[in-house]
Structures are given as C-alpha cells and as structure tokens.
Chains A and B, each alone.
Chain A
Amino acid sequence: MKRTVIRWLAAAFVAAAAAPPAHADQLADIKAKGTLTCGLTIVQPFAYTDPKSREVIGYEVDLCGALAADLGVKAEYKVVAADVRVPELTQGRIDLLVALMSYTKERAEVIDFSNAYVEDGFYFITLRDSDIKAVDELSDKRISAAKGSLYATIAARKFPNAQVITFDDGPLAFLAMKQGKVDATIQRSSAAVGLQLRSPAGSPDIRLLDPPLVVQGSGFGLRKGEPALLAYLNGFLDKMEAAGNAQVLWDKWLGKDSPYKLERKFKFGRKMT
C-alpha cells in the first residue's frame, strides 16, 4: 500500500518535471496560435508597472511588442520571478524569456540564447561617503544582491570570504545598502541609476565602483532545439539595428529621451560569449 503511494507520487513528480509540450517547430506554432507570450521580470525601466495606466511598460515590453508585430501576432505578457525564469520557459508556460537573461555558459546548457538586445555593466555600489573606495576592499564585507541573479554567484566566487546576502529583488537589495545593512550592493548600472533617481530627495548619494564586476549582454531566452525560431530572432535583432529602431528603443527608455541619459555601447544582434 505504502509502496504504491510512493510509486504514484514519484510518477507524478517525474511527469510534472518532464512536462514541456513536444513542439515540431515553435516558430510555426506561435504563428498558428496568433499570440506570442513573453516572460518578463520586473526591473525598471525594462519592464515595470506604469503607475498611471496600471499596465506593464518598458524597454523589454516594447521589444516584445515589436517582435510580435514583426511576426504578425498578438503580444501577451507574463511577469515571472527571476529565480524561476528558466522553468517557466522549459515547462512551456511562456514562449520566450524577455527578462534581462544574462548569458552564461551554464545557462546556455539549459536554454538557448538569441544574440544580445542589451548589454550592461554590473557594478559594486556603495554609499558615496562610505570608507570603501575600491572593489578589492570588499573581499570580506557584506554584499547584497537580488535572488536568482547571475552576479550574486559571480561575486561569491570572486570574494569567497565576503558574505553575499540575496534579497527577493534588486530594489530591496539596493535598500539594504542605502540603510547601511550591507557594505555594498551589486546591480546592473542602468537599474542602479534608476533606483537612485527614484530615491526620495535627500537620501544619501551612491557611487559605482570601477571596474565593473562583469559586463554582460542579455538576449531572448528560448527552449532548446528550436533552430527556426532562433534564426528568426537573430534576424529580427539585425533588422532592428539596421533600420534604426534599436536606437529609437534605446533613446526612449535608457538614452537621451529618458531620465537615464545612458549612451549605447553595443549593437543589437551582437553575439554573446
């Protein structure tokens, strides 16, 4: 009796883990069903809720919209948590990850990446009046990061004696640094600039320590074994760059038309390694 129950449970677990629907060709499937479901993670200004319209807006939202328009289908957005982005994709709940998925070799073994649509430096950030002036001084300090982020792992590897504490999202990790609970936080530069811009007036100033921990690109994340979709995505990114839409998108959310005023230092469709 007990053994049967255990066997059923085990079978259910395995079935749940191995659920991804078998696609012949996902590109054709998306066109057939007429919708493209993009998985987004909330990071301002890439994807976040507009306080006025209550809709998710941002760089990655527009990007997904442009892609859906190019495909001739309707875009659908699904917000996913950073630390379960990959299973959301592999279990087929979304078609694509448009979720600041930074490229790593380990990740590329589980999912496929398109070429880059954004590239950003990940910096150690301290309060401006902190005693810490250089990255190496952090080797035994308390450092905050967002759960599920690439850089938490890299920082722990770089400074094995440091205490890397992860919080549920980037803004909480940032807040812990601003409140002095940790000595530094690691954030992508665009997110950090945005968090500082939105901090209440009079709150302490921050400093990004040079050099960045890592500069890494993010591309669309897709399930393995979809060569047609992958080729389509890379073609789409090249097309955006050539037609100037890439610059328009950048200027709107991160560049000259945004409060961030960041300069674009990469090209859409750059191959990531």
Chain B
Amino acid sequence: MYELSYDLIFGNTYGTKLLAGIRVTLFLFVLCFTAAFLLAVVIATLQAVQSRILSGLLYVFVEYQRNVPLLVHLLVWYFGIANLLPPKAALMLNRYNAEFIWAALALTLYYAAFLSEDLRSGMRAIPRGQFESAWSLGLNWWKTIRLVILPQIVRVALPPTVNQALSLFKNTSVAAALGVAELMYRTREIATDTFRVFEAFSVATAIYATGSLAIVWTGLYLERRLRIPTGAGAR
C-alpha cells in the first residue's frame, strides 16, 4: 500500500528547488507575455496598413507560428536556428543561459501571433463610420483613437487576451524540454530523485492551477471594471 508523504518535497533541498522553479516560470510568463503583447500591437497595427507585401509577410509569419506545435518551435530554435549563429555568439549565449533565451524567444513569437489575431478582430469590430462620426464631432485623429476607438478595442479584445495569457502560463512548461529549469523541470527532477512522483505532480498541479486562476480572476476583475452600460463590450 502506497502512503502519501509530502515531507521530502516541502523539505529544505527540494523545497528550495521548487521555489526556484516557480520563480523561473513566473519570470518566463511575465517576460513573454509583455513582449508578445507589445509585438502583437505592432503586428496588428501594421496589418491595418494597406500594403500587399507587408500584409503577405505578416500573414506568413502569423500562420507559421499558429500552425506549428509549440514544442516544435522550441526545438527548431534551439537545435536548428541556433546553429546558424557564428560560433562566438553561440558561445556567449551559452554563458548566459541559452536555453532560457531560445525558449523565451519561441514562446514570445508564438503568442504574439495569436494575440495579434485577437487584437485584429478587436479592431475589425469597430465600424469605419465611427471615425467619420468622431471627426464630424470635431475630434482630431489622436483624440478619435484615444477616446473612441481604443476603449472599444480594449473591451472586445480583453477576454481573448486573458485566454492567451492563461494558455501561455501553462505552456511555459514546454520550456522544460530545452532544459529550462522552470516549475515542470523541477517537478520532474524531484519526482525522479525521490520517486515521490504522485506527490511531486500533485504539488505542480496545485501551483499551476493557482497561477491560472489568478489570471482568470484578474481578467474577470478588469472586465467588470471596464464595463460600460452601452456600446461594444457591454452585455
């Protein structure tokens, strides 16, 4: 009969490892989400520009990112594209934790693609007529964007953005495949060291669920704060 015991996992050695893993996971999440969001804003904005070449390039980028599994992206960057670097640059990267850098890059690009699509649909939800109405009311271009257009985009795009944040938070675990010592990596390490496999994975489950719920609740809170009685985004 198997007896559950969490003493080892929360003990000094493995507890420290677990905390270190949580730190890396949170750092990876915050870094990648921020970078991906900023990049997505740029992509979505550029997609509004009327240029065949530009929109073609962006289409290829977005579809390549969206239609290839995340793990494949990570392995391609780390074991493939990384080899195209000149040896000196590769050596320097290795000194600065190359695994983390490549994993962060792959995650950022992957989620930037998804987020840019969400932002784009937010933009498309706003009828062109609103620009004309705003101008006829005497608002200049910047005021139109700031007071009329952006507030609506934010409200429409918020729920899908929260979804992507949630997905990113959980998928930081894929970085373990490259040897990034985040929460999943540490969990597997602890599991193989102690053979407390069930205990280790149940603790990881609880930690991921806590983080995910925090993201969900932050999203709900923001939605409630931003709700306006009429217009787009109101129910």
Cβ 8 A contact of B2, one of A18, A144, A165 = A18
A243 contacts B by Cβ under 8 Å: no
A24 contacts B by Cβ under 8 Å: no
A131 contacts B by Cβ under 8 Å: no
| Inter-subunit contact A179/B179 (CB<8 Å) | no
Which of A17, A18, A82, A149 counts the most B-chain CB atoms under 10 A from its CB? A17
Contacts of B148 in A (CB 8 A): none
A106 contacts B by Cβ under 8 Å: yes
| Inter-subunit contact A13/B202 (CB<8 Å) | yes
B98 contacts A by Cβ under 8 Å: yes
| Inter-subunit contact B188/A147 (CB<8 Å) | yes
A270 contacts B by Cβ under 8 Å: no
Instruction: Quote the shortest CB–CB distance from A101 to chain B (angstroms).
Output: 12
B79 contacts A by Cβ under 8 Å: yes
B14 contacts A by Cβ under 8 Å: no
B38 contacts A by Cβ under 8 Å: no
**Interface residues of chain B: helix, strand, loop or mixed (majority):** helix
Contacts of A166 in B (CB 8 A): 179, 185, 188-189
Give a binary string over A135-164; 1 marks a CB under 8 Å from any B CB, 0 the rest. 000000010100111001100000000000
A78 contacts B by Cβ under 8 Å: no
| Inter-subunit contact A17/B4 (CB<8 Å) | yes
Chain A binder among B18-26, B40-48, B82-90, B219-227: B82-90
Which of A17, A142, A168, A181 counts the most B-chain CB atoms under 10 A from its CB? A181
**Interface residues of chain A: helix, strand, loop or mixed (majority):** helix
| Inter-subunit contact A181/B188 (CB<8 Å) | no
Contacts of A90 in B (CB 8 A): 2
The interface size bin for chain A is 20 to 34
A93 contacts B by Cβ under 8 Å: no
Within 178-205 of B, Cβ neighbours of A (below 8 Å) are at: 178-179, 185, 188-189, 191-195, 197-198, 202
Contacts of B99 in A (CB 8 A): 165
A86 contacts B by Cβ under 8 Å: yes
Q: Contacts A107-B195, A142-B94, A180-B87 given: A18-B1 contact, CB under 8 Å?
A: yes
Within 90-109 of A, Cβ neighbours of B (below 8 Å) are at: 90, 106-107, 109
| Inter-subunit contact A148/B192 (CB<8 Å) | yes
Cβ 8 A contact of A148, one of B4, B78, B83, B188 = B188
Instruction: Quote the shortest CB–CB distance from B94 to chain A (angstroms).
Output: 6
Interface residues, chain A, CB within 8 Å of chain B?
Answer: 13-14, 16-18, 20, 82-84, 86-87, 90, 106-107, 109-110, 142, 144, 147-149, 152-153, 165-168, 172, 175-176, 179-182
